[in-house]
Structure 1
Amino acid sequence: MFDREREWAALTEFATDPQPGALLGVVSGRRRQGKTFLLRSLCQATGGFYFPADEAADRESLNQIGARLAEHVGAPAPLAFDSWHQAIDALLSIGRDRRIPVVIDEFPYLVRANAQIPSIIQNALAPLRAERDQSRSSILLCGSAMSFMGRLLSGNAPLRGRAGLELVVPTLDHQLAAQFWDIEDHSTALMANAIVGGTPAYRREFARNDTPSGPDDFDAWVVRTVLSPTSPLFREARYLLADEPDLRESGLYHSVLAAIASGNAHRGGIASYLGRKAGDLAHPLTVLEDCGLVTREADAFRENRTTFRIAEPLVAFYHAVMRPIWSDLEHTRDTGRLWQRSRRRFVSNVLGPHFEQVCRYWTRHLAGPEVFGDYPNRVSSGTVNDPANRTSHEVDVAVYGLDDDNRQPLLAIGEAKWGDIMGLGHIDRLRRIRSLLIAQGRPGAESARLACFSGAGFTDELRTAATADTGIVLIDLATLYRAG
């Protein structure tokens, strides 16, 4: 098990809770994050019951859980259930003598065949019900369909208010992903992270522990793992969309993702790319957001403007690099040539935006208060209007704090460049943006620090200026990958 101490501690605490009565917990997260591994390990360590649901008819699922439960309790023959009322009560009964975890994995498959199951579980766990009060089963419902799992405990859902645990198993961040993939070179680590992200299964099961040994091996690694039609990673991005039950018009959702991957981060740009009205995109964008495939971020300086980004790196790589040449990738014998043709698109549409996102993540979650003068409370990108020059300026990293009066003073503004050696010209640009924010009367702008994030380094002149001026902050790859 790699870096799942928090999740393991939460699960073991839930599975050994000393209080009387049955408990309910929900475990979710995108596929390939290790949820099943955690839950199987929990059941093995505690003697718990684990049931992996299949895509099956309701009757077959009842038969399957009856057979599994019979094995668990040592019954001579499979248990026969006429309904899920009986099956859930049977799961409660195995916890009469002691606290025991009861896991139903891939729970959305069961509900797809029988939409009443959440209500049945709600009724089974009703207060003052003897079967619930006399049981010490810790029922854990697990699933990877993020839109479905997100609704399970929300609003007027039957199970709202019933769960004592809601655990989301996240992907590994860029630092942990580098450790997991055993990549020591920071540049190689970030380039690999821009493609496969922090999904653990992509290394062990999908790439069979094939990792890029360094910068000179990166291109060859992409060709032999991600772009090879014989590799599971080749079609994984398409399967991720197919796994989401709410994505019924797959063509539309692929097109929306392609628009974002092409650099259209705002609703108007996406609509123009698709040849549709901006209002027509509200539903597909919301569905993609609920599925965890797209994130929505408010502009740092204009609250009425929203930026959309693809949350899963492999999906962004697929739509920016693979989808435009899909037929060639399937049939060519010279994948290396196709990759070299696509490499510029990878750098501009995938690697550059991913580097910016890593910089924002590091600033928000990993940077100490000494870097920007206080703890960052909100970090996003934004656009600042420059009326005098009739233009606007993009800010890659805008950092806000939080004071004792719940005000959010601006702590810093920053620019992130993956392939450029940054110099004094970048600081001059940030100073101009800061002067515009001061003129707007934005709190904290006068003392806001100027931050340069670079994957290629800084000129000697800029380093000298940063040494003399504590208001200039330089963050390189070594800093982004330094353990906090």
Structure 2
Amino acid sequence: MTARSPHPLLVIDELPYLLQHSPEIPGPLQQLYDEQQRGARHGAGPGPRLILCGSAMGVMHELLSGTKPLRGRAVVDLRLGPFDYRGSRAFWQIEDPLTALKVHAVLGGAPGYRPVAARPHPDDGFDTWLAMTLLEPGRAVYSHTETEYLLREDHPAHAVLRHAHRARHPIITLADPVIRFNQLITLPQAAAVEQGFAEQVGQQAAPTFNSKILGPRFEDLARDFTRRYAHTLLPGGLPGPVGTTEVADQAARTRHEVDVIALAAGERPQAPRAKIALLGEAKATAARRGTGDLQRLEHIRGLLAEQGYDTGGTTLTLYSPHGFHPDLAGPAARRDDVLLVDLPALYDG
């Protein structure tokens, strides 16, 4: 026998759609809330609990802003984000971590895509699965159709990622992987896709997919891993801000891009003598990482030390989906300042 809650529950889903036709709804909701509060103060029974849901972020944010009727009346303002890359793999029930990485690169962590995705399962062959989902015009996740919906329905299509080390040069990138896939793969070959040549389009677009979709997504995962999971491996434990940066090399008259940089806990970006917990390079190329990659990080660490940053406890980290050369793996295992992260470590800890 289930006990009844003393608090009646009212749930309104996709409120922004209702507001398009009935913009006066927040007024009665405010009145309902205020009457319940007055009744509670005078000993009346508990009033209803109200949950308002909506996928249009801008509309939901405006509900609680300025002089709007519901301003100051929310107990919880919760934004439900997508799964992270580990949660996404578990939700999709993908065994192979490389396949999980590729699926995350094109669909991200939105759970709503799995029920409408085609069979076979991604583990049975990613290329075939891709041709039957994002490159299949008859599917609900066909990227051209889905992209139009995402842009029309007030979903955040862009994000500004600022350097953790220096914020003078922000990086602007497409945050939604479905939109990114559409712009780079589907739109340039839309006619061929519509004519049923999905597999051929996927094969021809492989270089673009690897360099502009899979590569950047792998870098994102490396930074996400550093924020969420690397504290169990780093000598200093939980790091501070994580991002990307560029390091000037005056002698060589160049600048070195750093895929992953983590400051020590408590440090602030742009601090002139900040303590750096981690410097990392993340490349999704088919080649295994070798000693040259480690030497590059050692050089960058030296440049930062010359510029006044505290690099005494900096861990040099290489992230690779295809592993590491023996000439790197052996020496790295004997060093306390080097961390190698492959796909099993990225996904399974």
Normalising by structure 1, we get a TM-score of: 0.65
Distance 1:226 1:405 in 2: 41
Over the matched positions of the two proteins, sequence identity in percent amounts to 33
Give the aligned partner of residue 107 of structure 1: 15
Amino acid at match of 2:147: A
Give the aligned partner of residue 207 of structure 2: 344
Unaligned runs of 5+ in 2: none
Q: Give aligned pairs, total.
A: 339
CA separation of 1:346 and 1:467: change in aligned 2, threshold 3 A: same
Point out the more displaced range, 350-359 or 394-403.
394-403
Matched, 1:456 2:319: no
Distance 2:54 2:235 in 1: 39
Asked if the contact 1:399–1:413 (Cα under 8 Å) also holds between the matched residues in 2, the reply is yes
Give the aligned partner of residue 92 of structure 2: 181
Amino acid at match of 1:139: L
Task: Compute the displacement of 1:474 (Å).
Answer: 0.3
Pairs within 5 Å for 1:1-400: 98-126=6-34, 130=38, 134=44, 135-204=46-115, 206-208=116-118, 210-214=120-124, 217-234=125-142, 235-244=145-154, 291-331=155-195, 333-400=196-263
Asked if the contact 2:291–2:327 (Cα under 8 Å) also holds between the matched residues in 1, the reply is yes
* RMSD, aligned α-carbons: 2.5
- Which is helix-richer, 1 or 2? 1
Pairs within 5 Å for 1:429-444: 429-442=296-309, 444=310
Amino acid at match of 1:309: T
Task: Compute the displacement of 1:128 (Å).
Answer: 7.9
Task: Compute the displacement of 1:155 (Å).
Answer: 4.7
| 3-state SS of 1:98 partner | coil
Asked if the contact 1:372–1:412 (Cα under 8 Å) also holds between the matched residues in 2, the reply is no
| 3-state SS of 1:319 partner | helix
Amino acid at match of 1:477: L
| 3-state SS of 1:434 partner | helix
| 3-state SS of 2:132 partner | helix
Amino acid at match of 2:236: G
Task: Compute the displacement of 1:132 (Å).
Answer: 7.1
Asked if the contact 1:103–1:141 (Cα under 8 Å) also holds between the matched residues in 2, the reply is yes
Amino acid at match of 1:219: D
Distance 1:299 1:314 in 2: 24
Task: Compute the displacement of 1:339 (Å).
Answer: 1.2
Give the aligned partner of residue 281 of structure 2: 415
Amino acid at match of 1:239: Y
Asked if the contact 1:401–1:409 (Cα under 8 Å) also holds between the matched residues in 2, the reply is yes
Distance 2:311 2:241 in 1: 15
Point out the more displaced range, 156-165 or 175-184.
156-165
Amino acid at match of 1:177: S
Asked if the contact 2:258–2:280 (Cα under 8 Å) also holds between the matched residues in 1, the reply is yes
CA separation of 1:424 and 1:116: change in aligned 2, threshold 3 A: same
| 3-state SS of 2:312 partner | helix
Point out the more displaced range, 97-106 or 398-407.
398-407
Amino acid at match of 1:121: L
Normalising by structure 2, we get a TM-score of: 0.89
Asked if the contact 1:104–1:140 (Cα under 8 Å) also holds between the matched residues in 2, the reply is yes
| 3-state SS of 2:246 partner | strand
